[in-house]
Amino acid sequence: GSSGDLSGMGSGLGMKDLWRPGVPSMRLRVYQFEQLLKVALPKLHAHFRAIGLAPEVLAAQWFLTLFSYSLPHPSVARCWDLVFFDGWKAVFRLAIARLASAAEALLPLNLEETAAYLRSSRLGGQPALADETSSSSSSSSAWTSGKSSGGSGGEALVSAALKVKVTRSTLHRLQRDFAVELLRERLRDTGSGTRNGGGATNPASASPPGAPPPEGGGRSELAEDPASAEPHSDPGADPGPGRAAGPPSGPSAPLAPPPPAPP
């Protein structure tokens, strides 16, 4: 593929699947990322949950752009070398390495301050925090420039990412777990729809939405009483013994014309 078509790379990223209706691939990557973050950085994962920071916030900014939205171009080029070589395994390792480099600065922040920190990393500036310590300042500098201890730029971030343990077998297991969670979610939605359907409806007699009403819609559901039902009279039938034949009843019965007068 062309240089701009990440879906055709040998890494098997499948970037176009992140944009399909319902974003099923993005949901899978977010699930994998959150589970990996829970193991690699449990304190930071618990802190994000406590302040209400959804992992989709980071995933949308990092995964959809492969860090090109939040890192300087020289650092992005070095990170992409690893991504194109190792696929999503490298993406997750880079994401966790970035968070690990800023964990000390992120842990004291509330949701609003964390959002400001992420915005500053996107714009390449320093976080505007009321109480900024020297440690958080150095962490934010590493965050915005892609630097960490022991190096500079993307090379240092790649070196830190290679120390994060993420295996393909782990990603495959998490993919299976996600499929199970997705199935449970659909079953819960189906059960909720059945319970909220309004009464016990016989599924065999229920019509699907938009279906036309059944034929004979004006017919009453109550059965007729055979004892009280009037017998059906046929004007042309034999009245039987003891019964006189009469003219047909009803407003639609025609009247016989009078006999002609004698000459």
Per-residue pLDDT, averaged over 151-165, amounts to 84
Q: Which long-range contacts (CB under 8 A, 24 or more apart) does 118-122 make?
A: 118/57, 118/58, 118/61, 118/70, 120/144, 121/70, 122/61, 122/69, 122/70
Residue 88: which pLDDT band, with cuts at 50, 70 and 90? Answer: very high
pLDDT at 128 over 60: no
- At 176-232, the pLDDT tens digits run 999 999 899 889 988 776 666 654 444 444 433 333 333 444 443 334 444 444 455
Q: Which of 92-101, 125-134, 136-145 has the lowest mean pLDDT?
A: 125-134
User: Which tokens sit at 115?
Assistant: 């959002």
Whole-structure pTM value: 0.62
Residues 124, 146, 148, CA angle at the centre, nearest 5°? 130
Q: Which of 71-75, 83-87, 235-239 has the lowest mean pLDDT?
A: 235-239
Residues 152, 153, 156, CA angle at the centre, nearest 5°? 60
pLDDT at 57 over 60: yes
Per-residue pLDDT, 212: 38
Per-residue pLDDT, 222: 36
User: Which tokens sit at 49?
Assistant: 């949950």
120-129, 160-169, 233-242 — most confident range: 160-169
